[in-house]
A and B are shown apart, each in its own frame.
Chain A
Amino acid sequence: MNENDTGKPLLDMPEKVRLIIQRETEDGLRRFRAGNFDSRLQAVGRIRPEETKFAPSPFSRVWIPIFGLAVGAIVIISAVLWVSRAKSQLPAANPVTIDAALDALPGFRTLSLSRQTEPAANEDISRATAAMSAALASATRSAATWKETSAPPSGNLVPRYSLEQKMKILFGDKTIEQALSLFKEKFKEV
């Protein structure tokens, strides 16, 4: 049993182990030969197809219920989505009716009336805005004049204002103060 087919040295099996295997094999074969293996195998070979016909495979046992559950879940989700979509597509309520209903509310009515009866505040704001624009325009003009007359030869384009000029721009006509005070009063009212 320990011959070497390729010429390389092989470790011999210990005699004891070899005898155990030999004895086990002989005993096993004796019982195997007495067991009528051939007819048993033929019988199993014939019975097996009928058994498999009635017993579903593990694959079927696991996957068919999962597939059924998945289909059921898809159907339910589709039905829910269809119902919610159908609800959202119902004809919208008449906007004129909603508008009228909102106008009928006391708070909204007061607001719309106050809008119609208080044009004076809006006029104040526009007047202040115009004044501020005029002040800024005059400041720009004076800056341009200063630039023409006193631009440094180095080519520095940033205008340099004296403190007096800055004060005049900001507070000379008090337009900013007036505009801010008007805005302040307006926001207080709101």
Chain B
Amino acid sequence: MTAPDDGLFRELIRYKEDVFRVCLGFSRNVADAEDLCQDAFLKAFARAGDLRQPGSLRIWLLRIARTTCLDHSRRMRRNPIDLADVVPDTAADPRSPEIVSEVNESLRRLKAAVQSLPKKQREVFVLREYGGLSYEDLARVLKLRPGTVMSRLNRARRALTAAMKEE
């Protein structure tokens, strides 16, 4: 890999928050998400020669981020999610300890529920709910028909709601 040239770097870095949000959805905490975001950008710089349509830079970048995150979650899936994984730093939180504790527990349950989703549903859910992608963009990133995207998202939401209620 070579150091990215300034033009390409500026083009790609515009989408850093989109990439970060997707990475946050797939990962357990902010620190992991930052590492994944960095990995995704480094991969993108290394594969810049493969980019055929400069107009679809965002879609291409999100596709790389998705692959990077899925590889990472495959490695991490065996380990159950602890509260410490989800919330590494609560000292600076201005809210009362009870509220912080409740919020963090809800977050842990959500993370566990997202991680327990099947891969196809998980990726649709994260890209939509964290990344904020439209159905059309989701279909382009995942190379699926919009109808398929919607049905997977529906199943993911149903499963997630059920999982949150169970706990």
Chain A residues 41-91 with CB under 8 Å of chain B are: 41-42, 44-46, 48-49, 52
Chain B residues 2-27 with CB under 8 Å of chain A are: 2-4, 9, 13, 16-17, 20-21, 24-25
Bound CA–CA A6/B160 (angstroms): 22
* CB-contact partner of A48 in B1, B30, B129, under 8 A: B1
Complex contact A14–B161 (CB within 8 A):
yes
Complex contact A13–B20 (CB within 8 A):
no
Complex contact A28–B20 (CB within 8 A):
yes
Q: Can you list 19 A-B contacts (CB < 8 A)?
A: A5-B134, A5-B150, A6-B146, A8-B147, A8-B150, A11-B158, A11-B161, A12-B157, A14-B164, A17-B110, A21-B110, A23-B107, A24-B24, A25-B21, A28-B33, A32-B17, A37-B38, A41-B42, A49-B1
> Does residue B116 face the partner (Cβ distance < 8 Å to A)?
no
> Does residue B85 face the partner (Cβ distance < 8 Å to A)?
no
Complex contact A38–B13 (CB within 8 A):
yes
Task: Known contacts A1-B129, A37-B34; decide if A32 and B161 are in contact (CB<8 Å).
Answer: no
B154 → A minimal CB distance (Å): 5
Chain A: which residue is nearest B158 at the CB level? A11
Q: Which residue, A16, A21, A44, has most C-beta atoms of chain B within 10 A?
A: A21
Task: Known contacts A5-B134, A32-B20, A37-B34; decide if A24 and B107 are in contact (CB<8 Å).
Answer: yes
> Does residue A111 face the partner (Cβ distance < 8 Å to B)?
no
Q: Report A-chain residues with C-beta under 8 Å of the C-beta of B33.
A: 28, 32
Chain A: which residue is nearest B138 at the CB level? A5
Complex contact B30–A32 (CB within 8 A):
yes
Q: Report A-chain residues with C-beta under 8 Å of the C-beta of B161.
A: 11, 13-14, 17
Task: Known contacts A23-B103, A29-B17, A37-B38; decide if A45 and B1 are in contact (CB<8 Å).
Answer: yes
Complex contact A45–B164 (CB within 8 A):
no
Sorting the interface of chain B by its residue count into under 10, 10 to 19, 20 to 34 or 35 or more gives 35 or more
Residues of chain B touching chain A, judged by Cβ–Cβ distance below 8 Å, are: 1-4, 9, 13, 16-17, 20-21, 24-25, 30, 33-34, 37-38, 41-42, 45, 103, 106-107, 110, 129-130, 132, 134-136, 146-147, 150, 153-154, 157-158, 160-161, 164
Bound CA–CA A18/B106 (angstroms): 12
Bound CA–CA A23/B130 (angstroms): 11
- Return the 5 tightest CB-CB contacts between A and B, nearest first: A5-B135, A46-B3, A28-B30, A28-B24, A11-B157
* CB-contact partner of B150 in A6, A25, A27, under 8 A: A6
Q: A1-B132, A28-B20 are in contact. List 8 more A-B contacts (CB 8 A).
A: A16-B164, A17-B110, A17-B161, A25-B130, A28-B24, A32-B30, A32-B33, A41-B38
